[in-house]
């Protein structure tokens, strides 16, 4: 198995620069020796009302429509005709790789009476509306209207699916729904996180009865490892030991495994993070890319309501179709799944905690600095958004 080299991490891109693998490992070993961890400067108090206000949720959804956001990894639509249809920031979209290899996004609404022409995911060269059978090519063009003489004057060339801005970059597919918004910084200018040879081996959708931000926050700190993951992650990781970096509005949190100490006696030139730590890349606002030994997971959080989130997960690897390496990846995922269930338990509980009205605000301390970064960026972005 080739060592994964998250090359862009080594690139110096101004504020987008991340530490090299070697520097990260050295910093972690230093933290282990000194019983320290990365810390923020001030902490953050997030009003409980921001998890419970419908106006706030509407503004967050407007933000998700206004900016470029990650829809899925390129590898999820690897073949011509591959598509994924789902609600995105409360709007039904379908994203599809055309016969020409280009990825396009459309509002998933028939130009007759608005019914969704695609559902779930699959591969097709034609979308047929289930209501009256209008059909569209995977380039969005209206192809066929049954009994077309019932629509005198209909110009098929003007009634294709309505396009949404879409681009494919560094192994990710992005969409931007609001054509009039102009992002100051380019949120698609991200490090090259996804190795080219990675393919999707599993995709899964899950609904969680909690606010999307409560769910997200559970990925962004290592302060809970000992308490929440007593018998899963804690025995193989560390209590409250992370390296936290920011790049643009995004964060990267490194969660070391105890196996990292095996590198102490090895020459630095051979140091690799693969199998020694998990990186969580928080791609602001609603995506987390996590690295695991020989695989990675991409999670897109879709807010469905104040206390309902749909999680879309894609698991990617370059391991051969069958064999020991793939089995090891799948076993590792079973282990990670138990940890994810533990996270969901506390997240659901935090959601109930909101109802108790015990807290006017949720307090994030110095060990939860990536959450401070998230809420800081979100507060800034929401200024001036009216819904
Ligand atoms: S709504 Fe699609 S064909 Fe009528
Ligand atoms: Fe956790």
Q: For residue 341, what is the domain's CATH number?
A: 3.90.380.10
Instruction: Answer yes or no: is the C-beta of 159 below 6 A from any ligand 1 atom.
Output: no
The reply to whether 140 falls in a domain is: yes
Instruction: Answer yes or no: is the C-beta of 371 below 6 A from any ligand 1 atom.
Output: no
Segment 41-68 shows an average pLDDT of 97
The reply to whether 130 falls in a domain is: yes
Torsion angle of the four alpha carbons 110, 116, 117, 121, in this order, in degrees rounded to the nearest 10: 150
Taking the CA of residue 134 as reference, the ligand 1 atom at the shortest distance is 3
- The sheet carrying 135-137 orders its strands as 126-128, 135-137, 142-144
Segment 252-266 shows an average pLDDT of 97
Residue nearest to atom 4 of ligand 1 (CA): 132
In a shared domain, residues 297 and 359: yes
CA gap 48, 314 in Å, rounded? 31
In a shared domain, residues 89 and 43: no
What is the domain range of residue 354? 7-62+192-382
In a shared domain, residues 310 and 208: yes
Domain count, the chain: 2
CATH code where residue 112 lies: 2.102.10.10
CB-based contacts of 199, cutoff 8 Å, min separation 6: 75, 78, 316, 317, 318
In a shared domain, residues 123 and 109: yes
In a shared domain, residues 301 and 352: yes
pLDDT of 115 above 90: yes
CA of 222 to the centre of ligand 2 (A): 7
pLDDT in tens, 282-305: 999 999 999 999 999 999 999 999
Instruction: Answer yes or no: is the C-beta of 151 below 6 A from any ligand 1 atom.
Output: no
In a shared domain, residues 236 and 326: yes
In a shared domain, residues 12 and 75: no
CA of 308 to the centre of ligand 2 (A): 19
In a shared domain, residues 305 and 268: yes
Q: What is the mean pLDDT of the chain?
A: 93
C-beta separation of 270 from 261 below 8 A: no
Instruction: Answer yes or no: is the C-beta of 367 below 6 A from any ligand 1 atom.
Output: no
In a shared domain, residues 128 and 265: no
pLDDT of 1 above 70: no
How far is CA 342 from each of CA 40, 80, 227, 308, 348, rounded to the nearest angstrom? 25, 38, 10, 18, 10
The reply to whether 184 falls in a domain is: no
The reply to whether 187 falls in a domain is: no
pLDDT of residue 13: 34
pLDDT of residue 182: 74
Report, in this order, helix, strand and coil percent for the chain, each rounded to 5. Answer: 30, 30, 40
Segment 349-359 shows an average pLDDT of 97
pLDDT of residue 89: 98
The reply to whether 1 falls in a domain is: no
CB-based contacts of 358, cutoff 8 Å, min separation 6: none
Q: Where among 125, 142, 176 does a domain terminate?
A: 176
CA of 374 to the centre of ligand 2 (A): 17
In a shared domain, residues 342 and 255: yes
The pLDDT-based confidence of 109 (bands split at 50, 70, 90) is very high
C-beta separation of 337 from 293 below 8 A: no
How far is CA 177 from each of CA 59, 63, 125, 271, 300, rounded to the nearest angstrom? 14, 10, 23, 42, 16
Q: Where among 143, 176, 209 does a domain terminate?
A: 176
pLDDT of residue 7: 36
The reply to whether 2 falls in a domain is: no
pLDDT in tens, 185-235: 788 889 999 999 999 999 999 999 999 999 999 999 999 999 999 999 999
Mean pLDDT is lowest, of 127-136, 146-155, 183-192, for 183-192
pLDDT of residue 148: 97
The reply to whether 123 falls in a domain is: yes
pLDDT of residue 181: 81
Q: Where among 176, 210, 240 does a domain terminate?
A: 176
In a shared domain, residues 281 and 359: yes
The pLDDT-based confidence of 387 (bands split at 50, 70, 90) is low
The reply to whether 58 falls in a domain is: yes
In a shared domain, residues 307 and 288: yes
CA of 122 to the centre of ligand 1 (A): 20
């Amino acid at each position: 198995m080739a060592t994964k080299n998250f090359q862009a991490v080594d690139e110096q891109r101004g504020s987008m620069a991340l530490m090299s693998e070697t520097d990260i490992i050295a910093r972690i070993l230093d933290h282990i020796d000194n019983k320290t961890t990365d810390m923020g400067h001030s902490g953050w108090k997030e009003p409980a009302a921001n998890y419970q206000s419908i106006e706030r949720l509407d503004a967050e959804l407007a933000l998700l429509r206004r900016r470029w956001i990650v829809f899925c990894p390129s590898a999820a639509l690897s073949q011509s005709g591959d598509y994924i249809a789902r609600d995105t920031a409360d709007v039904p979209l379908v994203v599809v790789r055309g016969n020409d290899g280009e990825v396009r996004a459309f509002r998933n609404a028939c130009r007759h009476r608005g019914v969704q022409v695609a559902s779930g995911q699959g591969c097709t060269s034609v979308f047929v509306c289930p209501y009256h059978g209008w059909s569209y090519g995977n380039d969005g063009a209206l192809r066929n209207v049954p009994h077309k003489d019932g629509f005198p004057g209909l110009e098929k060339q003007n009634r294709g699916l309505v396009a949404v801005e879409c681009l494919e970059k560094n192994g990710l597919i992005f969409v931007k729904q609001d054509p009039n918004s102009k992002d100051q910084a380019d949120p698609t200018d991200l490090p090259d996180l996804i190795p080219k040879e990675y393919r999707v081996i599993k995709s899964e959708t899950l609904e969680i009865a909690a606010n999307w931000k409560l769910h997200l926050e559970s990925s962004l700190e290592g302060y809970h490892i000992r308490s929440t993951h007593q018998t899963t992650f804690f025995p193989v990781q560390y209590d409250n030991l992370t390296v936290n970096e920011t790049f643009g509005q995004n964060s990267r949190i490194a969660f070391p495994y105890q196996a990292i100490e095996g590198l102490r006696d090895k020459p630095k030139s051979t140091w690799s993070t693969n199998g020694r730590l998990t990186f969580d890349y928080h791609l602001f606002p609603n995506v987390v890319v996590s690295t695991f030994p020989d695989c990675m997971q991409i999670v897109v959080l879709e807010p469905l309501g104040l206390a309902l989130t749909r999680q879309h997960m894609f698991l990617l690897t370059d391991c051969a179709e069958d064999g020991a390496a793939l089995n090891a990846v799948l076993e590792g995922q079973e282990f990670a799944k138990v940890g994810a269930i533990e996270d969901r338990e506390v997240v659901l509980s935090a959601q109930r905690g909101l109802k108790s009205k015990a807290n006017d605000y949720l307090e994030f301390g110095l060990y939860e600095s990536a959450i401070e970064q998230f809420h800081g960026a979100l507060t800034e972005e929401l200024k001036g958004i009216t819904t």
